[in-house]
Amino acid sequence: MQTFIPVQGGRRKKMMSDSIPLHKEKGLNPHMVKCVYCGEIESIALVGARDKKFRCATCNIVYVGTSKCPQCGTRGEYEGTLEDGEYLSGVCEKCKRDLEHEDVLFKEEIKKGGVYFRCIGCGASGVIIAEHPIAINARKKLGIEAPDPCGAELPNCPNCPERK
């Protein structure tokens, strides 16, 4: 659907309501979307002029386009523009199915006495198994017994870049 937006001086600017704003030099500005879990190319995104990168302080994810985080809605911090050949992050269909299955496994482990965790250092999250000393100590300190869920934030984890 075409609409015309009046601008100063009586001229009209033609806009398409379902169009991608074109980049002045790169046109549609295509970028490949790579799965963050398996590394496979998932799709191609036509970014156009929306090539600004932002980082969410809450979720610690980098995203493009709008300044609001697509995951939690908080305003992200500007990190620059996408470089030519830079990949965008996504999740492929196979990994989405695996994550749904993993969520079921996580909930089962929590009922046994496991503990949800989130790493402050790198943003990783998951479940510490019920038999692990960290899970046992966390539940004791928090005074929460299984099957009730509980969680902990860790300053860093084995996946943190500083520890490798």
Confidence of residue 139 (pLDDT cuts 50, 70, 90): very high
pLDDT in tens, 111-133: 999 999 888 887 788 888 899 99
Residue 1, domain member (yes or no) = no
Which structural domain, as residue segments, surrounds residue 150?
A: 100-163
Residue 5, domain member (yes or no) = no
CB environment 142-153: b (16+ within 10 A), e (fewer): eeeebeeebbbe
Q: Do 159 and 110 lie in a common domain?
A: yes
- Percent of the chain at pLDDT exceeding 90: 14
Q: What is the value of pTM for the model shown? A: 0.49
CATH number of 117's domain: 3.30.1490
Q: Do 106 and 86 lie in a common domain?
A: no
Q: How many whole angstroms separate alpha carbon 44 and alpha carbon 31?
A: 6
pLDDT in tens, 42-83: 888 888 888 888 888 877 777 888 778 877 788 888 988 888
Domain-terminating residue out of 72, 90, 108: 90
* DSSP codes of every residue in 88-131: EEE--HHHHHHHHHHHHHHHHHHHHT-EEEEETTT--EEEE-TT
Segment 137-164 mean pLDDT: 83
